[in-house]
Copies of this chain bind each other. A is one copy, B any other.
Amino acid sequence: MTEPIRIKDIAERVGVSSGTVDRVIHKRGQVSAVLREKIERVMKEMGYEPNIAARTLAHNQKRLSIAAILPDYRTDPYWEQPKEGVERAAESVRHYGAMVEFYFFPIFEPKTFLITVSQALDAQPDAVLVAPLFLQEAQVLFAACAQRNIPIVLINTQIEDDDELTYIGQDSYQSGVLAGRLLNFGLTDGDHAMLVNLDKEVASARHLQEKERGFKDFFNGVEKKSVTIHTAVQEDFDDPVQLKTWAEEQITLHPQLKGFFVTNSRAYKLVEALSPVFLQKAKIVGFDLIAPNLKLLEAGKIQFLINQNAWQQGYYGILTIVNRLIFKKETQRILYLPLDIIVKENVEYYLKGNLQSPIMVV
């Protein structure tokens, strides 16, 4: 193995001190143009790559505080996963001087979200990780971060923007297409299928719209069977009685209904609202490996779950920030996590956050 090239090697080759090379590397100026170019050339020639361990060690007096603004995990089991991913990542990077402060907001309250945001910003974080559920209110946060010049990483909900936003999560459209494919496997010609939004403010929820678009596009595509698609929204998913009534209505209305695609992690609520008899023939595709869903997957009452990798969204979100601000690495603007297809036979591999051993980005 060839010995790694050090700053010192570059310096000696050029005939300057290591401090000068360092200034070039960090673009800290104070170096004449001639010398700078020469040093840059020699660095390329010799293939210099910084020693991360040494860099980290030298850096380690620096402290990095990250604000994680997430929906309250106590109001919705889905949000436990990003939280745990963030916690795990925080643990991994603690040694490098990064710390994470959580700020939780109630899942359906845009106004409280704004209050939470201002609390987070008051603490003067160096970076922000956020699940920007509310399009309007998120803009306020984006503006504030742009003004303070601190990087911001979005998870779960993708919002395009002029600023330097990073998104980590799923491709919602594609997940809708995939759901179509999976339902299609289980259905036969003439069946009806229904896309169900068990959510609030669906019209303004970008990711739900995208899923619907993808789902419909699949069945308009070439490979589909002749399946009729319905769509429905039910905002009162927290009231079992009402949900049951609603579900039975749908079934009577569409007797050919054989398949459901629930666009978020609440497939279990739909299953609970459907009669056991009906369930025997029904095919259900949902999202996310949360406990109530897993139970029904195991019982054969949910056929497929698409894993949104919520845990990884949190984990990679933090790692991305640390990579940028501590290791000063280039990071990608958009990281689409895989759309894992989960059945009971492979579910166990996706439960522990996929990363059995702590992983550190270098």
Residues of A within 8 A of B (CB): 1, 4, 49, 51-54, 56-57, 60, 63, 92, 94-96, 99, 174, 177-178, 181-182, 185-186, 218, 223, 300, 303, 319-320, 323, 329, 331-332, 335-346, 349-350, 354, 356-362
Contact = CB atoms under 8 A, between A and B. Distances in A.
A342 B357 CA distance: 25
A4 B93 CA distance: 12
Interface centre among A51, A323, A357 (most CB of B within 10 A): A357
The copy count of this chain in the complex is 2
A156 to B, nearest CB: 17
Contact of A95 (B51, B63, B94, B342): B51
A52 B95 contact: yes
Contacts of A223: 300
A338 B349 contact: yes
Contact of A174 (B4, B181, B338, B345): B345
A106 B320 CA distance: 41
Given A54-B57, A95-B49, A95-B52, A339 B335 contact: no
Given A185-B186, A336-B349, A361 B361 contact: no
Contacts of A185: 185-186, 303
